Structure 1
Amino acid sequence: MDRETALALEAFTTRYCDAWQRSYQTWPQSEELYGVPSPCIISSTGTMVTWQPQPFTLAENVNAIERALDIVVQPALHAFYTTQFAGDMRARFQSETFTLLQTWSPDDFRRVQENLIGHLVTQKRLKLSPTLFIGTLESDTEVISLCNLSGEVVKETLGRRQSVVLSSSLTAFLNELEPVL
């Protein structure tokens, strides 16, 4: 596993959880994850779940993607999706505010890998560079992704060659993130 990326993700998660503690005197909360089983759940009340990141308990790789498409995935992506179970976290990178995706449970990890496979198959069909999404923006047509060729983090328009490089690496990108509550 890419230890630098894992440490950068853990550091951002700590900043995010600390911001929740300072602002609301609680661990992060989510309405979207209410009722969805996860090892992260501390408590559920009304329509809200309170969560805390937990260690990842499965094999620390996304080999299902590699096997399905006969490719090698950037080590940083393996680390990104297998460092922890956690809820999605709102973040800001420079002027971009987005949702940093995480895996909530073992079932969610399998679903994320399936979605990444589907994303890569579509890109291959459209003859686009292979990218693997790590974040979503307000627009349904734009995502934050890791370029599987260069290792750069990009903001891309789905189905188009349009992309903007945000950072030279996933580690550098995660280190610059600011929590958004």
Structure 2
Amino acid sequence: MPDQVVSSLSHLMARWVSYQCQRNGGVWGPSDPDWDSPCQTGITDNGLTAWRPLPRHPPAVMDNIASALEITVRPELADFYGHWFAGAMAFSFKGIRIELIQAWNEADYLRLQENLIGHALMQRRLKLAPTFFIAATRQDTHLISLDNATGAVLFERVGDNGGAILAPSLSTFLSRLEPLPQ
């Protein structure tokens, strides 16, 4: 299953970049000289940064999350977060607008891991089964998450148990996403 996640994510990144290039002539985002990324390909005159998702070599691992939480973490989580650097990417899943979460740079990757651990600790305090967020929604109270027990992708309300199953696996979920404008 993990190889399927890497393959699905690679195809999704290529589809998203192609969509943005056809629609906008490239992928653009705000420029911040204090928050550089290996994804950046140039800066335009109007202060926007050109960028593209960039594969990480070698891929990053998330062993510290499993160690900090003293649980086994699904390998799909590391495959999702550890293979690319990327900025904000909007998609639609069956009418739900989402923004996939990826790390912009190495410092962002470390912060992301801290946030994943914090989220899991909050769930533990609430006696909820562990899930790990992979995308944001327009509603601050809802997340798209990977169920650590089953590998299913959930539409869940923060602080509630369970959630609606969107896809039986992360690779299936990724293959069903449709790119949206930035």
Answer yes or no: same fold by TM over 0.5: yes
Is the CA contact 1:137–1:143 (under 8 Å) kept in the aligned structure 2? yes
Alignment partners' CA distance in 2, 1:107 and 1:58: 16
Show structure 1 runs of 5+ residues with no match.
Answer: none
Secondary structure of 2:154's aligned partner: strand
Q: Are residues 150 and 162 of structure 1, via their aligned partners in 2, closer, same or farther at CA, if it must alter by over 3 Å?
A: closer
Cα 1:57–1:111 change in 2 (3 A) is farther
Shift of 1:103: 0.9
- The answer as to whether partners of 2:91 and 2:98 remain within 8 angstroms in 1 is yes
Per-residue deviation, 1:60: 2.9
| TM-score after normalising by structure 2 | 0.93
Aligned to 1:115: 115
SS in structure 2 opposite 1:136? Answer: strand
Is the alpha carbon distance of 1:59 and 1:11 closer, same or farther for their aligned partners in structure 2, counting shifts above 3 Å? closer
- Residue of structure 1 in register with 2:74 after alignment: 74
Q: Which amino acid aligns with 1:158?
A: V
Shift of residue 15 of structure 1?
0.5
1:16 aligns with 2:49: no
| Matched letter for residue 44 of structure 1 | I
C-alpha distance in structure 2 between counterparts of 1:51 and 1:105, whole Å: 12
Map of 1:47 onto structure 2: 47
Distance across 1 between alignment mates of 2:100 and 2:143 = 10
Which consecutive unaligned segments of at least 5 residues does structure 2 have? Answer: none
- Alignment match, 1:84: 84
Give RMSD over aligned pairs: 1.5
Aligned residue in 1 for 2:4: 4
What per-residue deviation string (whole Å, max 9, x for no partner) do you get for residues 86-123 of structure 1? 11210111121110111111111100000000000000
Distance 1:13 1:59, change over 3 A: closer
TM-score normalised by length of structure 1: 0.94
Are positions 1:25 and 2:39 aligned together? no
